[in-house]
Amino acid sequence: MQSLNLRHRALLALLLALLLLLLLLLPLSPAPESAGLQSLRVAESHFATGEYTAAVVAYQQALQNLPESPYPAWRLAVLYERWGYPEQGLQALEEALTRGYAHKEPAVNLQLALLAATGDWEALESAASNLHATHPTAPQPLSWLTQAQLQQLHCSEAQSSAASWLAVAPTDPAAQRIWGTLALTASPGKAVTALCQTDAALCQSLRGCVPPTACDTQLGSALLRQGDPALSACVLQRAVAARPDAAGGRAWLGAALEQLNRPADALPQLEAATELAPEDALGWLLLGMHELRTGAVAPAREALLQAQRLDPHNPAPCLGMAALLTREGKYDQIKTWTDAALERAPHDPAIYRAVARFYLERNLQLEGAATQAASYACQLAPEEAEGWLLRGWDYLNHGQVENALASLEKSLHHDPTAAEAYQLQGEALMLLGQN
């Protein structure tokens, strides 16, 4: 009997061992993924393919399903920064920090980028200054600090910050360019060398002049053409201080201040330019555009017609008159002036882009003018992202969503950072139901 029990136990042990071995060999079923992780996975997929509207919805769902995780809020802040919605980005970043996002340096750098995008220059200066105090050898805080000071026209402070930035990043082209521009008076030799090493257009603007002050008007206008009104204004203020009777310096300074949204400061400079040089079309053109933006239609017409009389081959006064007629509601006369602008620059893609944007921003459907201008802009400069953006915008307005997406994809290929293209792409995808 005892022998039978022993055999029974041995058989039971053998069965248990075989069962354990079988369990070890069988594949384990994956644990079911939580709803929060599923939403996060979907959000990341949409973000990776540029489907920002759909990504936002999925991230917000992940925020609800993962109430203690900072990651969905962090990724949402990154998305909003890339998409061009900085206010929402700051809110998402605050949520991420509240939830305990632990990577301080990336968070601060993102905060600085978002503050710059909102145009809150005082807050940016304060945040960048605080970061510089804790990381004195890091170039990024000094870069943001310099930009914030420039935007507020704190030019001497910006020069000092740029010098510190260059000291910790001596090969950074941006630091060389800004320091060289601001230091042209104090250190002309080194400044010219820095500019010519980093920016061929600015170097060219210095030819034929003797630095420091004799070059400031040329340098300032070149910076303005490059889309850098803050740095331009600092240079042009030097030019006007050195030669207050020079109309060109005052005209360009007025234009720079206008672009910095300082119309009250711009107007005296522009008026002085026309008084000092009444036969110079530039002052009248810039004054006319200023008056138009501030709603002074009658003075704007007078100034723009003066500019057109003095420089009849320039397309810019024609575009100004088209904008003026739009404000007056005289739509039947608009195309005459936009056509006149194109006739004066038939091979300039920038003018075609300006005409296309003129119609698209005002939602004007006049004889296919926007379509034609955007199409020619792409033909003349197929490598320029803005032309394809405008073509996509026009397609979208005409309900040709697939064509719009194709054009916007080309735009983003040439400029992956274009927030406007991402916004239009999101609208197109929503129309297709891919949100």
Query: Residue 27: pLDDT above 90?
Result: no
Q: Coil, strand or helix: which one is 366? A: coil
Please state the pTM of the whole predicted model: 0.80
Name the least confident of 20-34, 152-166, 274-288, 318-332: 20-34
CB atoms within 10 A of CB 162: 28
pLDDT in tens, 65-117: 999 999 999 999 999 999 889 999 999 999 999 999 989 889 999 999 999 99
Residue 116 is predicted with a pLDDT of: 95
202-231: average pLDDT: 89
- Tokens 């540029």 found at: 50
CB atoms within 10 A of CB 21: 10
How far are the Cα atoms of 53, 84, 176 from residue 58, in angstroms, in the given order?
A: 9, 19, 43
pLDDT in tens, 293-307: 999 999 999 999 999
8-16: average pLDDT: 54
Residues 124, 100: contact at Cβ < 8 Å? no
% of the chain exceeding 90 in pLDDT: 81
- Averaged pLDDT of the chain: 91
